[in-house]
Amino acid sequence: MSEKITVFDIEVLNQDPASLCAIGIVELQDKKIISTYYSLIKPKNLSYDSYRYKIHHIKPQSLYKEKTFEEVWKDIHHYFENTIVVSHDIQGDMMNLRAALKQNHLVYPRLLMSCTNVLAHLIYPDLQKYNLKDLSQMIGFEFQAHHALEDAKACAYLLVEMLEHVGVESLYDLHQQFHLEFGEMKENYYRNIISAESVHQLLEMNQKEDALLYHQSVCFTGKLTMPRELLEEKTKEVCALSTNQVSTHTNYLVIGGKGYRKVRFGKENKKVQKALQLMKQGQDLRIIHEKEYLELLEGRKECL
């Protein structure tokens, strides 16, 4: 079956996550490039950021006559509908894309997500560096770093190289081989792929794909009735991923049974505040009691 993939990269002008100032897109079909797209973008926030300028060398004054994000989105939205979308930092790139969509009152497209950074950690687990430049040098591909289209091309070539290295014909096959779930996005909903930092946990797991919490990212807060080390071990046993911070990867924030209501409904716990903010943005994240989590640990998908 033919597989289309959209590989993209963006540049951001300043600290405003919605300040996209350039986007590059490479469309792959059956591991071949069939189209490309590049555009500068005039964001609503045109403030100057010296750190980001040193990366991409795009000045605010060079964007005054460029298309707005809303105008560019009319040109590119088809690349993001009902397809697999890939970048080398899918978590960060999609965070910025979602911010721009929200700022312009545009509906989230329906898509699946993968990440060449995560895949590289799985396929080449012993490397010292996983940035796009070093990985591209490893496969013999030269490019101009931090130009959105050039970065997208490098990411596309890296993806094809990894498919060839593993000996699979599609990205679906590659995910299946590593028991890796795609991220997902649709209207008012967002669920991330696992982070590259969690890959080592994934590689150490005995796969239990029927577990209700399979590949779910879990963070704990508050006073637990069970020792945290034991709870984290139980989490690992069902192929879930325990993390220390709430992020765009988090699926469950578990609050300890001791003083649950004060933590959950008070205004002091930063993890709860962050979780509520992400939930408001559409992230697939639940805040639950420790007792409910212990019940989920025993659950199986066929019981749903």
At 207-262, the pLDDT tens digits run 666 778 888 899 999 999 999 899 988 998 888 888 899 998 899 999 999 989 99
* Core vs surface per residue 246-258: b (16+ CB within 10 A) or e: bbbbbbbbbbbbe
Q: What is the Cα–Cα distance from 25 to 153, expressed in whole angstroms?
A: 8
At 253-287, the pLDDT tens digits run 999 999 899 999 998 899 999 999 999 888 999 99
pTM: 0.82
Of 13, 40, 28, residue with least CA distance to 163: 28
Burial category of 206 from C-beta neighbours within 10 Å (exposed 0-12, middle 13-18, buried 19 and up): exposed
Fold that domain 4-195 belongs to in CATH:
Nucleotidyltransferase; domain 5 (3.30.420)
Per cent of the chain over pLDDT 70 is 96
Predicted pLDDT at 206: 60
At 70-92, the pLDDT tens digits run 999 999 999 999 999 999 999 99
Residue 258 DSSP label: B
Q: Where are the domains of the chain?
A: 4-195, 205-303
- Round the average pLDDT of the chain to a whole number and report it: 92
Helix 132-139 crosses helix 116-123 at what angle (to 10 degrees)? 60
Q: What is the Cα–Cα distance from 228 to 235, expressed in whole angstroms?
A: 10
Q: How confident is the model at residue 299 (pLDDT cuts 50, 70, 90)?
A: confident
Best CATH choice for the domain 205-303 from the list 3.40.50.10190, 3.40.50.300, 2.170.190.11, 3.40.50.1820 = 3.40.50.10190
Predicted pLDDT at 212: 82
Q: What is the Cα–Cα distance from 10 to 95, expressed in whole angstroms?
A: 11
User: How far is residue 266 from each of residues 43, 259, 260, 269, 271, measured CA to CA in Å?
Assistant: 37, 11, 10, 7, 12
**Residue 48 vs residue 204, higher pLDDT:** 48
Contact predicate 193/181, CB 8 Å: yes
Helices (H), 124-251: 132-139, 148-166, 171-177, 199-204, 228-237
User: How far is residue 278 from each of residues 136, 161, 286, measured CA to CA in Å?
Assistant: 33, 34, 10
Predicted pLDDT at 304: 39
Q: How confident is the model at residue 303 (pLDDT cuts 50, 70, 90)?
A: very low
Q: What is the Cα–Cα distance from 114 to 123, expressed in whole angstroms?
A: 14
